[in-house]
Structure 1
Amino acid sequence: MNRVSMVLLAGGVGKRMKMNVPKQLLTIGGKPIIAHVLEKIEMIDEIAEVIIPSPENYIEETIMTINDHQFSKPFQVIEGGSSRQESTYKALQHVQHEHVIIHEAVRPFVSKEEFIHLIHCEEENAIYGLDIPFTVLEGKEYIEGNLERDRLVNIQLPQKFNTEKLLAAHEKAHHEMNEFTEDASLYFHYYGENIKVLEGTEYNIKITKPIDRKVAEIIYKDYVLGREYSE
């Protein structure tokens, strides 16, 4: 595969984290969460550019954080949207390459190898996912139905798509005011095409709530530092 673009979503304001700064700028192991991801991206030659949607009030701080960690790849920090979906849509309009990797700045424990495996996957559209190890039923106040656990997948990022087709799908969703929580579901809704599911890892957590940050510190100490010392 030729070189790809990266959209690194950093547009959240961290309401559920109950902090006064976006969660991607909080630290894990003494380092901003977004910097953990940028370190992996920096080592991957196939990634040619990085588009980073950010809250408007934190664009300059995001740029400073990136520069402080000597990130040398071409990058643009743009104003994000009012939702994750809108931020992705805005970022896709800046992408220059045929294929794009979508990742979230608040998934700091993705590995370099996972990025490379995704980029070189023969399938044009591919994502990471995990089996669901618990029972999931349909309903809210009352149970309304059973779901077959062995046919469900816990969706993770990063994800890879054809840029032109993903942008077109986002444009349709934008005009039809359809909302999706991530890009695989949006893409499949409009095209119904195969999206390859690669096996993810339990370490690749998304940091959303305060408890996630506590778990992340444990993962960093026992998994990330452990790998560094063993290499």
Structure 2
Amino acid sequence: MQEYVIIVAGGTGSRMKSDIPKQFIPVNGVPVLMHTLSAFRSYSKDLSIILVLPENQFAYWKTLCVQQFFDEPYLLVAGGATRFESVKNGLRTIESQEALVAVHDGVRPVISREIIARAFSTAALHGTSVVSVPLKDSIRWVKESGENSTLDRSSVRLIQTPQTFRLDWMKHAFDQPFQEHFTDCASVLESAGYPIRLIEGSYRNIKITTSEDLALAETYLKQI
């Protein structure tokens, strides 16, 4: 079955106090987004990669590709106002009738071939596959009143990407109207009635949001 990945990158870098969108910030001399695309290409030369970026970032990205001699094959698609719309735009480009589609954050460059492979194989068996890790810290539930109580961290997971699904399930789920609680693809599929299968991820599979994340990514990528 054909495999696709939609890599979504629409960050601004505001939390890093950077003028450069975080997906373009260099890590070990290479923009974050190029590390991410290369990780998926290393998984399979036959994987179809769809890169979704804000249209006003196309020119800058293409300039970076020329400067870095980056020639990995991919399809470039304009993003929407929300992550939901951006993924939907990526889905519209897929003409296959049967396929598996992973969706991955462009600023998660430290993703292993093993996790990517497990995500696709699990989705092939069960229709959905969402990467997650257990919590390390204690957590508390805080009410609007300010009252708070402890929660059992063993029953909670931190959700990562890739999130991988059957194409027909995705297209059906993304036909529904956008809702505010659609923070990731899993919430969209769940809202459409599909079960979500969790698989084990990695604490190294960080989403680069802050300067501290950037420092960690630099260290992890040097070890690959």
Quick check: TM above 0.5?
Answer: yes
Moved more, 206-215 or 151-160: 206-215
How far did 1:77 drift?
1.3
Note the residue ranges of structure 1 that are not aligned, 5 or more in a row.
225-231
How far did 1:18 drift?
2.0
Contact 2:131 2:161 survives alignment (8 Å)? yes
Moved more, 42-51 or 177-186: 42-51
Counterpart for residue 104 of structure 1 = 105
The counterpart of 1:186, out of the listed 185, 188, 206, is 188
| Residue 154, structure 1, aligned to residue 153, structure 2 | no
Distance in 2 of aligned mates of 1:55 and 1:215: 26
3-state DSSP of counterpart to 1:43 = helix
Write the mapping of 1:80-229 to structure 2, written as runs, cut at 5 A.
80-97=79-96, 98-121=99-122, 122-139=125-142, 142-174=146-178, 177-191=179-193, 193-221=194-222, 223-224=223-224
Cα RMSD (Å)? 2.0
Distance in 1 of aligned mates of 2:84 and 2:148: 29
Change in CA separation of 1:217 and 1:66 when aligned onto 2, cut-off 3 Å: same
Counterpart for residue 14 of structure 1 = 13
Contact 2:131 2:160 survives alignment (8 Å)? yes
| Amino acid corresponding to residue 211 of structure 2 in structure 1 | P
| Amino acid corresponding to residue 182 of structure 1 in structure 2 | D
| Residue 49, structure 1, aligned to residue 48, structure 2 | yes
| Amino acid corresponding to residue 190 of structure 1 in structure 2 | A
Contact 1:137 1:143 survives alignment (8 Å)? no
Output one character per residue of 1:169-223: Cα deviation in whole Å (capped at 9) or x when no partner.
Answer: 223132xx444211112211221x33221111111000012221122222233x3
Note the residue ranges of structure 2 that are not aligned, 5 or more in a row.
none
TM-score w.r.t. length of structure 2: 0.87
Distance in 2 of aligned mates of 1:190 and 1:136: 29
Distance in 1 of aligned mates of 2:14 and 2:24: 13
3-state DSSP of counterpart to 1:194 = coil
Contact 1:6 1:47 survives alignment (8 Å)? no
3-state DSSP of counterpart to 2:177 = helix
> Structure 1 vs Structure 2: percent identity of aligned residues?
26
Distance in 1 of aligned mates of 2:101 and 2:135: 27
Moved more, 82-91 or 23-32: 82-91
Write the mapping of 1:26-41 to structure 2, written as runs, cut at 5 A.
26-41=25-40
3-state DSSP of counterpart to 1:128 = strand
TM-score w.r.t. length of structure 1: 0.85
Distance in 2 of aligned mates of 1:107 and 1:115: 12
Contact 1:5 1:96 survives alignment (8 Å)? no
How far did 1:147 drift?
2.7
